Amino acid sequence: MMGLTLRAVLAALLCLTFIGSAPAQPLQDNASIAPSAQESIAPTAPSLADLDLLIEDDDAQIPSLDQSDIIDLAALGAFLVLALLSFWKKSKVLKLATMVTSVIYMGFVKGNLVSLVHIFGLVELSFPIFKYNVSWYLLIFFTIVSTGLWGRLYCGRVCAFGALTQLMDQIIPSRFRYELPRRYEQRAVYVKYILLAGSVGYFLFSGDKFIYKYVEPFWMFTLTGTTVMWTMLTLLLLTTVFIRNFYCRYLCSVGSALGLLSNLSIFRIKRWKQCNTCKLCEKACEWGAIQGPKILVSECVRCDDCEILYSDDKKCVHWLMLKKNSLKRAAAAII
Ligand code: SF4
Ligand code: SF4
Ligand code: SF4
């Protein structure tokens, strides 16, 4: 109980710190889209396509809010509600709908994902001005609060790249799959933390934010990249055919940052005492996030697979044991 309370307080403090420091040094990102045509340009939250501009143009002026921002905010809000509904209902259909919407809307239409650039902004306490970037703040707020509450929910259904690789997983035949031996898997998950530390260290040393292009593939939704970037992406997607969620599990800096925050999460996946010996959920987890009875919260993306098993009275050993014991008691009563 104490641990739960402590995690709740720490998570709340983290969120408040982030929100409270928001407008300290605005990046003025939106305006950078076309500063010279301030009056005629509709302000939009920073997207993947804007990341370069966001980095380059700190001095541009800021356009004012208009109707398109309200529509953008409403659409993002609706999508996040869909993501939450699919999570709360544990519905496979809603989850599939969320992931398809994520790829199309968050990826190709909106082009707005949590990125290393945002982590760089957090490190230097530099954020867009709130009133001109409400949609962006909503996404960041949702990501941080949902991670503090449940863990990497953002990775499980909001991130377009994660959704894309999970959708690939649904159609690629399982005979192509290769599971890394456990001893390599356990070490490989740390690569993403090294990449996060290396990228942040490089940024602090050089001030160069453009490293993000070579560390994360989210730019792909803008369909603009150099030959080197497309080649790296092709290799990454090819590897993903054989090793499930390869980028998310071993390489993603954003995922590693959210994984660290997940250690403070309040509402965790429950376990039965039978989980000490039953391996069903461990085998079902496609993220390598279960080791024996233990859920590795930093690796878990709240995909629902083990939670659906947990409450399945026809498959979960806990419920089967309960049934068996009650049958035994009934038989004993008759005798
Ligand atoms: S690990 Fe990275 S790429 Fe994967 S879902 Fe999370 S943020 Fe997206
Ligand atoms: S199936 Fe049930 S008992 Fe087995 S690991 Fe999953 S939750 Fe635990
Ligand atoms: S199967 Fe369970 S432990 Fe594994 S990622 Fe999904 S929710 Fe997390």
Q: Cα separation of 84 and 98, whole Å?
A: 9
What's the pLDDT tens digit per position in 136-179? 999 999 999 999 999 999 999 999 999 999 999 889 988 888 88
Global pTM? 0.81
Of 98, 139, 254, 286, the one to substitute when testing ligand 1's pocket (max ligand atoms within 8 A of C-beta) is 254
Q: Cα separation of 73 and 156, whole Å?
A: 21
What's the pLDDT tens digit per position in 177-232? 888 888 888 899 999 999 999 999 999 999 888 888 889 999 999 998 899 999 99
**Residue 41: closest CA among 66, 18, 22, 20:** 66
Ligand 3 lined by 169 (C-beta under 6 Å) = no
Question: The tokens 């290393």 sit on which residue?
Answer: 116
Q: What pLDDT sits at residue 42?
A: 41
Amino acid at 122: L
H/E stretch holding 290: strand 290-291
Please, which pLDDT band fits residue 23 given cuts at 50, 70 and 90? very low
Please, which pLDDT band fits residue 31 given cuts at 50, 70 and 90? very low
Of 269, 274, 314, the one to substitute when testing ligand 2's pocket (max ligand atoms within 8 A of C-beta) is 274
Please, which pLDDT band fits residue 329 given cuts at 50, 70 and 90? confident
User: If you measure from the C-alpha of residue 310 to the centroid of ligand 2, how many angstroms do you get, rounded to a whole number?
Assistant: 5
The residues spanned by each domain of the chain are 2-32+42-59+67-266, 268-335
Q: What pLDDT sits at residue 130?
A: 85
310 CA: nearest ligand 2 atom: 7
The average pLDDT across 322-326 equals 87
Cβ neighbours of residue 300 closer than 8 Å, sequence gap 6 or more: 151, 152, 262, 269, 285, 287, 289, 290
Please, which pLDDT band fits residue 52 given cuts at 50, 70 and 90? low
159 CA: nearest ligand 1 atom: 8
User: If you measure from the C-alpha of residue 210 to the centroid of ligand 3, how many angstroms do you get, rounded to a whole number?
Assistant: 33
Whether the predicted pLDDT of 86 surpasses 90: yes
Q: Cα separation of 263 and 297, whole Å?
A: 6
Cβ neighbours of residue 87 closer than 8 Å, sequence gap 6 or more: 95, 150, 153, 156, 157, 302, 304
Q: What pLDDT sits at residue 64?
A: 59
Q: Cα separation of 35 and 58, whole Å?
A: 11
Please, which pLDDT band fits residue 128 given cuts at 50, 70 and 90? confident
CB 116 within 8 A of CB 180: no
Least confident of 52-61, 144-153, 155-164, 273-282: 52-61
Closest ligand by atom to 298 CA = 3
In the chain, pLDDT over 70 holds for what percent of residues?
Answer: 80
Closest ligand by atom to 284 CA = 3
CA distances from 288 to 183, 187, 230, 234, 242 (A): 11, 12, 28, 24, 15
CB 15 within 8 A of CB 145: yes
Whether the predicted pLDDT of 14 surpasses 70: no
Q: What pLDDT sits at residue 38?
A: 38
The average pLDDT across 278-295 equals 92
Ligand 3, atom 8: closest residue by C-alpha: 300
Ligand 3 lined by 58 (C-beta under 6 Å) = no
34-60 burial code (b ≥16 CB/10 A, e <16): ebeeeeebebbbbbbbbbbbbbebeeb
216 CA: nearest ligand 1 atom: 3
The average pLDDT across 79-86 equals 96
Q: What pLDDT sits at residue 65?
A: 62
CB 46 within 8 A of CB 28: no
Q: What pLDDT sits at residue 51?
A: 61
Please, which pLDDT band fits residue 36 given cuts at 50, 70 and 90? very low
Ligand 1 lined by 80 (C-beta under 6 Å) = no
Q: Cα separation of 120 and 101, whole Å?
A: 28
Closest ligand by atom to 317 CA = 2
End-to-end CA distance of the chain: 44
Q: Cα separation of 14 and 196, whole Å?
A: 19
Q: Cα separation of 314 and 33, whole Å?
A: 56
More reliable by pLDDT, 234 or 2: 234
Closest ligand by atom to 217 CA = 1
